[in-house]
Each structure stands twice: as structure tokens, then as C-alpha cells.
Amino acid sequence: ILLSLIQAADYDIPKAEQGIIYIDEIDKVSRKNSNPSITRDVSGEGVQQAMLKIIEGCVANVPPQGGRKHPHQDFMQIKTDNILFIVGGAFEGMDEIITKRSSKSINTFGFNKPSNDEPIEPNEKAVTSDDLMQYGFIPEFVGRLPVLVTLNDLTREELIQIMTKPKNAFVKQYQALFEMDNITLEFTDKSLEAAADKAIQQQTGARGLRSIIESTLLDVMYELPSIGDAKICTVSDDAVRGEEPVKITKESGELIRLPIVEKRSA
């Protein structure tokens, strides 16, 4: 982790010491049971224990080439006191812990007993330190993360922005790929909305968008070399949903519709 930060700072140690480290999928290192293990836990509590000093602040010795430490290898020393550590994850199952905790804080007798289908109020969705410890994080690790923030699911509009706005947005990447063959790739507004809706339905978030677009364009990318004089490819919302093929317009203005190939789920 620290080596990646140093490399991102072009091996400028003072610059790296003012850097930001984001650790994703931190929920994967939660302790799987409440009983402390006497054996080495390489995937849960052991990882949390190893990260304590780095997050709290220390002088860490980092091998320049990474990998295992070698007795004759020089180390780069970096102070982690001023590095901002941000951790995140999906925390699957956390909703159940919050719901159970929220139900205990209100009257649960008689007619005031809440329904299981009753939505949790926004102020009750906030994760507490106790929730994290119940999820499987040791108190020492939770104590070094003073600010807890709950993020909402990405909306359709935000997913569309992810597909189109960044400099290296993958919609732009596909358009550049088609442009290499002098073909204009067009996405209708509704096609982007359909891709975003599909990602929301599949609960894959932004990471699932690329595979959705890839599966939509896979057949047409395979067939384009055999068409020869294709000029424009238009992706509609029906094409994203698999209800019709991507439209191909030739230089002569002729419209080609490839047959729909049923996608088999892996």
C-alpha cells in the first residue's frame, strides 16, 4: 500500500507523506467470529492488527521493489502520521445490524411494535462504532477511524455521468476504438439510461456498466470487419436490453441490422 503511494508521488517521500490512501473492500478483513483466534488469522483480525500502527502513525520501512524484505536490501522510510487513510466497502449484512439496533431503541410492545417491512429512517442508517465492532472489527481498529460516513446508492444520473463525463470514460474509449476504423459510434440518451437502469437492477453499481456496454457491442465489433463500408453504429435502449441489434449504417445510407444472438449466462 505504501509503496503504491510512493510510486504515485514519483518517489518523492515528503510528497507521499502528505498523500491519501484509499483501501477498498475493507469489509473483507472483518473477523468472522467473535472468539479471538490463537492461530494466525491472515484474512481477518490479523490484517487489522497489522494495519494499526500504519494508520495511527509510524515510520515505516518500505522495500523499493516491493515483495519480501531482503537483509541486504535498502529501505525507503516514510512517516505515516500525516497520510489520510480512507477505507470503504459494501459491508453486506450491515443493514441487519442497524435494523436490529434501531428496533431496540424504540418501543417494541403492543401496537407500537415496528413492522419488519417498515423502512429505516435516514438518521437511523448512520453506522456507529458499535455496529462496526459487531460486524467483526476490533475496537483498536475502529478507534483509529474517527469519521464514519454512510454512502447512498448511485442514482441513474450519476451512473450516466460515470459513463460519459470522465476524461477516460469507457464510452469515450469505445468511441475512440470504433474511430480507428473510421466508424462513428453513437449512444442515444435512452441507451445510457437503459445501461444505468440495468446496473441498478443487477446491483452491480458502476463496476457493472462496462460489462453491460461490452456485451451490447460484442457482436457488432465481431461483425464490423466483414461489413467493410460501415459508417455509423447507433446503440439504442432496446439494443442495451437485448431486444434489438445495434444499428449499422453504411456509407451508402443502407441500414443493416444484425441478427440477435441470445446471450448465455455464465
Q: Compute the distance between CA of residue 223 and CA of residue 189 in angstroms, rounded to an integer.
A: 24
CB 210 within 8 A of CB 168: no
| % residues pLDDT > 90 (the chain) | 61
Three-state secondary structure call for residue 76? strand
Q: Compute the distance between CA of residue 41 and CA of residue 25 in angstroms, rounded to an integer.
A: 17
Identify the burial level of 59 via C-beta atoms within 10 angstroms of its C-beta, where 0-12 means exposed, 13-18 middle and 19 or more buried.
exposed
CA distances 260 to 15, 193, 243, 266, Å, are 53, 21, 8, 18
17-37: burial string, b at 16+ Cβ within 10 Å, e else: bebebeeeebbebbbeeeeee
**Bridge partners for 185 per DSSP:** 233
Mean pLDDT over all residues of the chain?
85
> What is the identity of the amino acid at 224?
L
Dig out the grid coordinates for 175 from the structure. 468511441
Strand ranges inside 93-243, DSSP E: 184-187, 230-235
pLDDT of residue 253: 80
Residues of the chain with pLDDT under 70: 32-43, 66-73, 104-125, 259-266
Dig out the grid coordinates for 155 from the structure. 442514482
pLDDT in tens, 79-133: 999 999 999 998 989 999 999 888 765 555 444 555 555 555 545 568 999 999 9
Q: Compute the distance between CA of residue 193 and CA of residue 16 in angstroms, rounded to an integer.
A: 40
pLDDT of residue 14: 96
pLDDT of residue 261: 56
| % residues pLDDT > 70 (the chain) | 81
Domains, the chain: 2-87 (3.40.50.300), 156-257 (1.10.8.60)
Tell the residue number behind the cell numbers 413492522, with chain if given: 115
pLDDT of residue 111: 46
State the virtual CA torsion across 136, 139, 142, 146 in degrees, nearest 10: 150
pLDDT in tens, 169-185: 999 999 999 999 899 99
pLDDT of residue 264: 46
Kindly report the backbone phi and psi dihedral angles of residue 90, in degrees, each rounded to the nearest multiple of 5, phi listed first.
-75, -30
